[in-house]
Amino acid sequence: MEALSDLNTFAKILTDKGYNGYFHTQGAYAGKLKESISDYLESCQKGTDSLPKQDLLLTGYLQWSGDDKPRVECSMWVKYLNGKFSLNKMEVARKDQFGQLLKKSELTNLSVISTPKAAEVIALVNDEQKQKAGKSPKRFKL
């Protein structure tokens, strides 16, 4: 288990690893990683929302090319303890334009430091590179 990080450190490490898109904390509070978590915690302090008994759930897209193209979604389960954060588990799923699951990968026993870069995580569920590399042009001889 890693040492817990404050929000600035936690967000900076993940942002530097490519997790720089927009996220939702607990299904709401859209924004960049740090802003989304900050807005959620602020709402909890005001009494509008309450802290979960388990982990915080952060969700977002790692790859998006439009509504009519497949996408890569990411869910992170983050422990929050006395103002400090640690990453527990991450689930990455590639879905088609209709939301149907194409491929899913789950990473457990993570820490913020050991979390792979976003590009590596996307590669776990993206088969396009493998398919393109495996295809050879078909030629006919006359």
51 or 24, which is more confident:
24
Structurally, the chain folds into a number of domains equal to: 1
- What are 81-113's pLDDT values in tens digits? 888 888 889 999 999 989 899 999 999 988 888
Answer whether residue 140 is part of any domain.
no
Answer whether residue 118 is part of any domain.
yes
Domain that holds residue 128: 7-134
Per-residue model confidence (pLDDT) at position 113: 87
Answer whether residue 139 is part of any domain.
no
Answer whether residue 142 is part of any domain.
no
Answer whether residue 1 is part of any domain.
no
Reported pTM: 0.80
DSSP of 32-56: EHHHHHHHHHHHHHHTSS---SS-E
